Amino acid sequence: MFNYISPPQIVLQEVPSEISLLFTITGCRLNCLGCHSPEIQNAKFGTPLSCEIFTQWIDKYQALISCVVFFGGEWQSQRLIELLKISQGYKLKTCLYTGKEKVSQAIIAHLDYLKLGPWVESLGGLESSNTNQRMFNVKTGELLNVRFLR
Ligand code: SF4
Please give the pLDDT value at position 96.
Answer: 98
**pTM score, two decimals?**
0.96
Burial label, 59 (beta-carbon count in 10 A; 0-12, 13-18, 19+): exposed
pLDDT tens-digit series, residues 93-148: 999 999 999 999 999 999 999 999 999 999 999 999 999 999 999 999 999 999 99
Provide the residue count of the chain. 150
Q: Which of 4, 29, 37, 96 to mutate to test the pocket of ligand 1 (most atoms within 8 A of CB)?
A: 37
Please give the pLDDT value at position 64.
Answer: 97
Please give the pLDDT value at position 11.
Answer: 97
Q: What is the Cα–Cα distance from 90 to 93, expressed in whole angstroms?
A: 9
R_g of the chain, CA atoms, integer Å: 14
Please state the atom number of ligand 1 nearest to the C-alpha of residue 34: 7
Q: What are the C-alpha distances in Å from 59 to residues 49, 62, 71, 127? A: 15, 6, 20, 32
Q: Which residue minimizes the CA distance to atom 1 of ligand 1?
A: 99
User: Could you give all domains of the chain from N- to C-terminal order, each with its CATH number?
Assistant: 3-148 (3.20.20.70)
pLDDT tens-digit series, residues 47-88: 999 999 999 999 999 999 999 999 999 999 999 999 999 999
